[in-house]
Structures are given as structure tokens and as C-alpha cells.
Structure 1
Amino acid sequence: MKRKDIIKLARKDFEKAWAETGKLLKKPHHDMEYPRLRFKIGKPHILYDTIWRLRDAYLKLGFDEVVNPVFIDEEHIYKQFGPEAPAILDRCFYLAGLPRPDIGLGLEKINEIRKLDVKIDDKKIDNLKEVFRSYKKGILAGDDLVMEVSSALDVSDETGLRVLERVFPEIKDLKPIPTKNTLRSHMTSGWFITLEYLHDKCKLPLKLFSIDRCFRREQREDSSHLMTYYSASCVIADEEVALDVGKAVSESLLEHFGFSKFKFLPDEKKSKYYIPGTQTEVYGYHPKLREWVEIATFGLYSPIALSKYGVDKDVMNLGLGVERLAMILAGENDIREMVYPQIYKEWELSDRELASMLRINLYPVTEDGRRLMEKIIDVWRKHGNEPSPCSFTVYDGEFLGKNVNVEAVEVEENTRLLGPAANNRIFIYDGNILGVPEEEKLDTKLIKEARKKGIDTGIAYMDALAAEAAYKIEEMVVTGSDAVKVRSAIARSLSDLNLRLDKVGMRYITSKNKVIDLRGPTFSTIKARIK
């Protein structure tokens, strides 16, 4: 069944379509089966690289790592912000959940179940009622409901799902009901809860840090705002904490990333959980950027907010947006492109990446075959310009247990053993795949630039053609054939040169209106026979 048919079937009968997808699973090629699969080192994301470096910096500064609560009841926002809380809650995501409905099992629904060709008796009815009671009470998890309904009716999961869909629409029609729980919109809301439990249980000074996600209900996401971001935040709690501690931590933390000079300016936002006059913006000068950039904010927590959590210590808090720092370090100017490059960033493949996707298609498998390939190349290089008709012995002797004769020939008159393009080399330049001739006088403008600035793949036309010839001579011996002739004439495409480009590379070149220009006369012939 084709994938498009699976999608169509899913609209009618999801469970049946889901079962059909199991038939799409293919047995992997022998070389790709575990444990033969070889993994290469992966490419990290700049955001998580920055998080790792921040963790390293905090730990080296003597801070202990904690995980702050993510789910914050709105009462905490009121305790921290006071009268300002409603405005802050406007930026918070409230959580909602689906209610557990009372599911009745009257005579009408029992008859509907029978219409689905389900044999039902009093015992099965009692079993089904017990399943729905357990579901209502929260004893039974929602993702187990289909399995338990199927078990109660003694039917397949496919039939059980059909019963739920068609007989009990009250489950499908459930509407979420909001709670007073919010997703953490700023790390401070979690710090107060953590400090409530730790401030009098640890030796002072208490130095903690946490790097984790926050969620903010922005009106829209743009080049500088996302609805979820990482905050790299810390607190220092002690009997007395001076504001200058925030400056010292800022400098020590950011020196880890190459910032050399700092300045501190009063923050005009004046959040109510800070003591008035202590909220401070941190600017750092980065030598590579040659400019001052805002990096972090720190301040001393307000005694009013702290007292509501029973904390009688001074607390300095510093917060740093990880995405902001990562953008500065990477030279990015759009936060969406940096965090979600697969969605927002224009698709780009480097010439080196394209080069890694191009390979010789048919290639000799055996050691004998690879040696023969090299002999073919040697003969072509030595005699390629010999006038025709001509013939040169490539190899005469034992090959894979057979006595084989291999000749490089050209029977036509007034030409040469090889066509002039056989010596061309393949370059990748600006997303184009180009055949570059040996003679510079044949260069076009694009070829000239490719020769100077492009990536040389190391593949000459004759390399790929010799590989094909050696492969087919191997094939001749293995299949028991008596002779084989491998001929190339005019190269127009990758396949004419025994080359293969990964589908991703081909899709990229097509989408970017780039070119694959490998045109040229190769005119090569290899004959082989078993003597």
C-alpha cells in the first residue's frame, strides 16, 4: 500500500491504517544492520553549546546547580509582584486539562456496539462499566483506555478504538478546562519557591544556578522574540549581600566568553520583586564585535517578596538570556533562524557538503578489481593522446581465478584513444557541479572561478569510467560471461560518467537553480575477455 493510500484510509479508519503502516517497514541492507552501522560525530546546536559553556562557567565560579519548578500557581505571581501581578499574568501561559466525563452505558449504546459486530453479554457490559468508572476516577490513564475497552469487550484494539469513536462521542468532544497553574515565564518565579525550602538548610553563602526553559505569551514571534527561551540565572543568599556582588558575578561569567570590558546601567523596568534602585543592566564589550551589547540583568530581591516565603536573608539574582548570548557569539541577527534554522533559515549547503554527496557509482568490489582500475587509468594517462585506430594491453593474466585479457582500444580512424574531456576534473563551486578541463584556454567565466575558488572533488572523468569498467569486468568473471565491452562517448549527465549525487544534493541544486555541467566527449572503450 502506498503512503498516500495510507493517509486516505486513516481518515476513514485510523486503527486499520495504523496497522497497515507496519507493512511499510523494510529490511535494511546487510551493510546497514546493527552493529555494522558506523556513526559519525554529529553537529551540535549553537544554543546548547552556549548552555554547556554557561554551566561550565557557573560551576567553576562555585555555584551549585538546581532545577527550579516549571509549573507556577498564579498565587506566586501575586506574592512576588503584588499589584503588578495581573499585568505580569497577561504574559503567562495558563495550563488546562481535559475533564474525565461520566460515560453512561444505556441500552441504546449497547445496541450501537452490537451494530459494530461486537458480541456483547452481561459480563462484558459489567467489564466496560468498570473500565469507565476507573477512567473517571483517574485510576486508569487515558492512553490505556483503548486497550482496556478492547480487553473488556474481548475484541482487537482496532475494534475497540472504533467503538470509542462511534459509540461514545462524549470522549472525542471534550473541551479543556483552564487551571490556575501557569508555565514559568521568568526564572525568578521558581527561585522564590526554591529559596523557601533551602534558605535555612544550607551553609551560607548559598550560591545556586539554573539554566532552563521559560515561556512567555508574546503577541507574536519575530526576529528578537520567541514564546519560549532559556534563562541562565543564579542567586546568592547570605546574611548581607552587596549590590556589587552582581557586578563581580557578571564580569566573571562573561569573561568566560571573551568579553573584556563591562559597564552597568540602571534598568528602567523596575520590577517589583527587586529592591528599588538595585535592578541593573549589564553591558559587555566584545573585541570581535567591537561594540557594547546588553547581556544580563541583576538586582537584590525585595524583602517584601522574600518575607512572603519566609526568607530573611539578602538575595542577589542575576538573569541572562541564553539565546541573546548565543546570537552575539554566533553573529546572528534573527533569533528564529538561530534557534529553528530548519524552519526559518534559508536552506544552504556548502560546496564541501555538496562534494561529500557526490560519489562514483559502480566501483570495483575486490582487491583485484581495484588494482585493475588503477591499471586502466595508467594506460589511459600514458596513451590517451595516441592516434587511432589503436589498442593497448591493460592487463593479461589471472583475475579472480580466471585468465583474463583487458585492452584499451579505439577502432575509429582519425581520432585518439581517449576523447578530450576524459581528463576533466569535477569541481563544486557556488552550488554548481562543473567539469573543469585541463586546458585553461577552454575555461568559461564560471569555470575560471571554479578553478580558483571551488572545491576539487579529486574525481577525474577517467577515474569514474575506469571504476565502471573494472566493476563490469568483475561482474563478467562472477557471472561466467566470456567477454565484456565498456564504452563511453559523450558525457551529458552524472550517469554518463558513472557518478551518483545524493538526492538531497540534487534537490538543493534544482531548488537553487544551480547547474550540473559535465558536458564533453570522453570516447573511451575497454574490452575484456576470458582466455
Structure 2
Amino acid sequence: MNKKKIIKLAKKDFEKAWIESEKLVKKPHPDYEYPRLKYEIGESHILYDTVAKLREAYLRLGFNEAVNTLFIDKNDVYKQFGPEAPAVLDRCFYLAGLPRPDIGIGMDKIENIKKLDNNIDDNDIVNLQEVFRRYKKGELDGDDLVLEVAEALKVSNEEGLLILEKVFPEIKDLVPVASNTTLRSHMTSGWFISLESMVKKSNLPIKMFSIDRCFRREQKEDSSHLMTYHSASCVIVDENVSLDTGKAISEAQLKYFGFSKFKFVSDEKKSKYYIPETQTEVYGYHPKLNEWVEIATFGLYSPIALSKYGIDKEVMNLGLGVERIAMVLNQINDVRELVYPQLYKKLEISDNDIATMLNYNYYPVTDEGIKLMESILNVWENKKDKTSPCEFIIFDGEFLNKIIVVKAIEEEQNTNLLGPASTNNIYIYDGNILGIPENIELAVKKVESSPEEYKKEDIVKEIPKDTKIIYDAVEKGISTNIRYIDALAAKTAYKIEEALLTGLDELILRNTIARTLSDVNLKLNDIAMNYINNENKLIDIRGPLFSTIKMELK
């Protein structure tokens, strides 16, 4: 059973399709079984590298780490933000859940259940009613419902799921109902709740930090806004705390990231959980960036907000946006590209990467086929310029337990055995794939070896105007060391193997004009092909091949 059949079956019978999907699991090749299967060290994410450095910086400054609650009741938002709370809540996500329905089992439903399985009796129905009662009261978790229904009716899990789907659609049609609980939009919301308990249990001063996610219901995500971000926040609680504390912490923290100078500017936002005129923006100057960058904000918590939590001490709070610091230090202009590079970062592939993604399409399978490929190539290389009509025997003898003769032929008058593009070499340059004629390749190399004797300008004059790039390709690009005849010889040997194994007595292989990679027996990885198309790069391997190979069974 293949994937398409299982996906089709899932639309009719999900449970059966899910069980059948087990058959798709394949036994791996012995080389890819544990313990032979190895994994190398992976690449870390820029965002979490920044989190790690911030953690280390806070710990070195003597702060202890805390995990603040992520779920904030809207009443706490009013305590902390006062009249500003409605504006804050407008940007908050409210948590919602599915209500537990009161599921009745009438006669019509009992009849439908028994239609699906006539072995179900009245006692089983009573057991099912008890399951629904426990589900309604919250004594039974939703993810255990299918199992409990199946056990109550003495049927399989698959039948239990089917009965829920067919007989009780009200479960599937439930609509979420919002609660008064929000997801934390500011780390401050978590600090007030944590400090309410901590000031009763800890000696002063209290120095804590937390680096964690916050959530904001943005109208849309763009280059500077995401619906979830990381706040690197700290608090200092003591009898006497001043703005100078915030300045000193900011400087110490940011020096760790290479910032050399600092300035502090009064923040016009004036959040109500800070004492008036204490909310301060921090700007740091980074020598490598050669500019001032807004990095953090700090202030002193308002005694009004603190009193709602029974805190009569002074509290300094400083917050840094982790994504902001990471963007600045890595000179990334789009926060989406920073956080979700797999979705937003522009695909970048080097010429060397493209070279590794360009492969032969057909290649001989047997040792005899490989030797035949070499013989074909040898004749083509040595006889390519012979005037036609002409014929050259490549192989005459036993091949794959059959006696055959293989010839290179050209029957047309006054031409050559091979067309002029047959010895073109494939180069990769600036994302382009180019077939370079042998004479141009040799000429460019002469200029490189003897610039005083051979002039680049003279060679460029001989190159057609629309293909000037080929000089730079030879000079600066990567040679794949694949000539057209190399790839075509491999294809020819493979096709002869295939012909003999399928019972053919004769085979004629003709190559005329190269227009695409497949015409010269090459294929390109889809990733590289997408990159070339998206970046408007070239795949130019045009040229006349005009080769003919004939195989006959003797």
C-alpha cells in the first residue's frame, strides 16, 4: 500500500488508514542502521546563541535565573497597568478551551450505535453514559475519551472512534470559549506575580533575571513585528534603588556584546507601571556597526502597582529584546528572516554547491559497461575531427555474455565525426551553468599563463557579444571537469547495457543539438534549479553535438 492510497483511504476511514500506514515503514539499508548511523554536530540558531550569551552575562553579574508564569489573568493586567490596561489587553491573546458538553444518549443514538455493532447491549450503553458523565465533570481527559468509549462498549479503538464520529457529531462541532487568562505580553506581568511571593521569602537585595517568550496580538507580522518574541528581563529589589542602577546594569550587560559607548534617553511611552520620568531607553554604540542603536529600556516600578501585590520595596526593571540585539549584531534587517530563516531567508547557494548538485543522469552499472564507456570516450577524443563519411569500431567481442560490435559512425558528407560542441566543458560561475568551448577555455588559460604575450582584449573580441560571461567563467568560475562527451559516453554505455538486458539486437543512439542539461546526460538538483530560476541565472549549454553510436548483436 502506497502513501497516495493511504491518504485517500483516510478521507473515508481515518482509523483504518492510520493503522495501515505502519506498512509504509521501510527497513533501512544496513549502512544506515544504528550503530553505524552517525550524526555530526549541528548548527545552532542565531537567536538562541544570543539567548545563551545574555544568560551568561546576567549570571556573571550576580543575577539568579527565574521562570515567570506565562499565563496572566486579565485582573493582574489591570493591577499592573491601571487605566492603560485596556490598551494592553487589546494586544493580548486570550486563552480559550472547548466546553465539556452534556452528551445525551437518546433512543435514536442507541439505535445508531447498535447498527454499527450489533453486539453492543444495554449494559454497554449504561457504561457509555457513565463515561460521558465523567467527561462532562472533567474527571476524564479529552485525549482518553476514545479509549474509554471503546472499553465501555467492549469494542476496538477504531470502532470507538467511528461511533464518536458518526453518532455524536456535537463533540466535533464544539466551539472554543474564551477565558480571562491571557498569554504574557510583557515580562513585567510575570515579575509582579513572582515578586509578590519572593519578597516574603528572600533577603534583600533580590537580583533575578528571566529570558523567555512573550506574545503580542499584532495586526500582522512584518519585518519588525512578530506575534511572539523573547524578552531578556531583570529586576533588582532593595530598600534603595535608583536609575543609576539601571544605567550600570545596562552598560555592564551591553559591554559583553561589544558595545563601547552608551547614552540614556527618557522614553516617551511612559508606561503606567513605571514611576513617572524613570522609563529610560538605552542606546549603545557598536564600533563594527559605526552607529547608535536602541537596545533596552529600564525604569523603577510604580509604588501604586507594587502595592497591589503587597510589595513596599523599590524595584528596578530592565528589559532587552533578544531579537533586537540579534538583528543588530548580525546585521539582519528583517526579524522574520532572523527567527524563521527556513521560511524567509533568501536562498543562497555557492558555485561550489551548484557543482556538487550537477550529476550524470545515466551511468553504466557493470564493470564491462564502465570499460565500454572508456572505449567510447577514447575513440571520440582521438577521431572527433575525422572527415565524414567515416566509421570506427569501438568494441568487438563479448559483452554481458553476448557477442556485439559497437561503432562510432557519421554518414553525412563533408562534416566531422563529432560536432564542435562535443568537447565543451561545464563551468559554474556566479550561479550560472555554462558550456564553454574548448578553444575559448584554452585561450583564457594562455592569457593567465602568459599575459605579456596573450591579451585578454584580443580574446574577448572573438567571443560573441551575448556570451562575454564565458571569459569570466573560465577565469573566475569552477570547472566541473565534465565535458559533453564524458557524460554522453556514460549514457551510451548505460543504454547498451539496458538494450542487451532487454533483448534488443540492435541500437542506434544519436545526439544532435544540445539545448538542455538532459541533452548531454546531466541532471540538476531541484534546490539548485529553483535557485537559478529565482535569481534569473543562466543554464546555457547550447551547441551542436552530432554524434552517432551503433550497436549490433553478432
Deviates more, 1:404-413 or 1:356-365: 404-413
Deviates more, 1:204-213 or 1:464-473: 464-473
Inter-partner Cα distance in structure 1 for 2:32 and 2:495: 27
Deviates more, 1:378-387 or 1:155-164: 378-387
Alpha-carbon distance, 1:33 to partner: 3.9
Q: Is 2:75 the partner of 1:75?
A: yes
Structure 1 residue identity aligned to 2:283: Y
Q: Is 2:278 the partner of 1:255?
A: no
- Contact 2:232-2:322 within 8 A present in 1 as well: yes
**1:492 corresponding residue in structure 2:** 515
> 3-state DSSP class of the match of 2:421?
helix
**1:30 corresponding residue in structure 2:** 29
Residue 257 and residue 386 in structure 1: after superposition, are their counterparts in 2 closer, same or farther (change >3 A)? farther
Residue 496 and residue 28 in structure 1: after superposition, are their counterparts in 2 closer, same or farther (change >3 A)? farther
- Contact 1:410-1:416 within 8 A present in 2 as well: no
Q: Is 2:290 the partner of 1:290?
A: yes
**2:525 corresponding residue in structure 1:** 502
Inter-partner Cα distance in structure 2 for 1:425 and 1:121: 79
- Contact 1:118-1:155 within 8 A present in 2 as well: no
**1:212 corresponding residue in structure 2:** 212
Q: Which runs of 5 or more structure 2 residues have no equivalent in the other structure? A: 441-461
> 3-state DSSP class of the match of 2:55?
helix
Inter-partner Cα distance in structure 2 for 1:509 and 1:259: 40
Deviations 1:99-134 (A, max 9, x none): 212222232221121233443212211221222122
Deviates more, 1:313-322 or 1:408-417: 408-417
**1:142 corresponding residue in structure 2:** 142
Alpha-carbon distance, 1:48 to partner: 2.8
Instruction: State the superposition RMSD in angstroms.
Output: 4.2
**2:168 corresponding residue in structure 1:** 168
Residue 408 and residue 4 in structure 1: after superposition, are their counterparts in 2 closer, same or farther (change >3 A)? closer
TM-score (norm 1): 0.82
Inter-partner Cα distance in structure 2 for 1:40 and 1:455: 28
**2:111 corresponding residue in structure 1:** 111
**2:156 corresponding residue in structure 1:** 156
**2:121 corresponding residue in structure 1:** 121
Alpha-carbon distance, 1:312 to partner: 4.2
Alpha-carbon distance, 1:188 to partner: 0.9
Q: How many residues align?
A: 528
Alpha-carbon distance, 1:166 to partner: 2.6
Inter-partner Cα distance in structure 2 for 1:71 and 1:115: 46
Within the candidate set 509, 512, 517, 2:540 is matched to: 517
Residue 159 and residue 196 in structure 1: after superposition, are their counterparts in 2 closer, same or farther (change >3 A)? same
Inter-partner Cα distance in structure 1 for 2:76 and 2:339: 30
Structure 1 residue identity aligned to 2:66: V
- Contact 2:209-2:233 within 8 A present in 1 as well: yes
Inter-partner Cα distance in structure 2 for 1:358 and 1:233: 49
Q: Which runs of 5 or more structure 1 residues have no equivalent in the other structure? A: none
- Contact 2:296-2:319 within 8 A present in 1 as well: yes
> 3-state DSSP class of the match of 1:439?
helix
Deviates more, 1:164-173 or 1:359-368: 359-368
Alpha-carbon distance, 1:319 to partner: 0.8
Inter-partner Cα distance in structure 1 for 2:30 and 2:414: 47
Deviations 1:225-244 (A, max 9, x none): 22211111122333433322
- Contact 1:406-1:526 within 8 A present in 2 as well: no
**1:428 corresponding residue in structure 2:** 428
Structure 1 residue identity aligned to 2:95: L
Residue 376 and residue 42 in structure 1: after superposition, are their counterparts in 2 closer, same or farther (change >3 A)? farther
> 3-state DSSP class of the match of 2:181?
strand
**1:131 corresponding residue in structure 2:** 131
Q: How does 1:169-248 map to 2 (within 5 A)?
A: 169-199=169-199, 201-202=201-202, 204-248=204-248
- Contact 2:47-2:339 within 8 A present in 1 as well: yes
- Contact 2:6-2:21 within 8 A present in 1 as well: yes
Residue 372 and residue 187 in structure 1: after superposition, are their counterparts in 2 closer, same or farther (change >3 A)? farther
> 3-state DSSP class of the match of 1:222?
coil
Q: How does 1:393-432 map to 2 (within 5 A)?
A: 419-429=419-429, 431-432=431-432
Inter-partner Cα distance in structure 1 for 2:431 and 2:204: 60
Inter-partner Cα distance in structure 2 for 1:481 and 1:329: 66
Alpha-carbon distance, 1:282 to partner: 0.8
- Contact 2:425-2:437 within 8 A present in 1 as well: yes
Q: Percent identity?
A: 65
Inter-partner Cα distance in structure 2 for 1:244 and 1:46: 31
Inter-partner Cα distance in structure 2 for 1:370 and 1:64: 67
**1:306 corresponding residue in structure 2:** 306
- Contact 1:79-1:305 within 8 A present in 2 as well: yes
**2:275 corresponding residue in structure 1:** 275
> 3-state DSSP class of the match of 2:159?
helix
Structure 2 residue identity aligned to 1:219: Q
Inter-partner Cα distance in structure 1 for 2:160 and 2:346: 46
> 3-state DSSP class of the match of 2:50?
helix
Inter-partner Cα distance in structure 2 for 1:375 and 1:328: 60
> 3-state DSSP class of the match of 2:252?
helix
Residue 40 and residue 381 in structure 1: after superposition, are their counterparts in 2 closer, same or farther (change >3 A)? farther
> 3-state DSSP class of the match of 1:50?
helix
- Contact 2:147-2:157 within 8 A present in 1 as well: yes
- Contact 2:409-2:550 within 8 A present in 1 as well: no
Within the candidate set 477, 483, 500, 1:460 is matched to: 483
**1:96 corresponding residue in structure 2:** 96
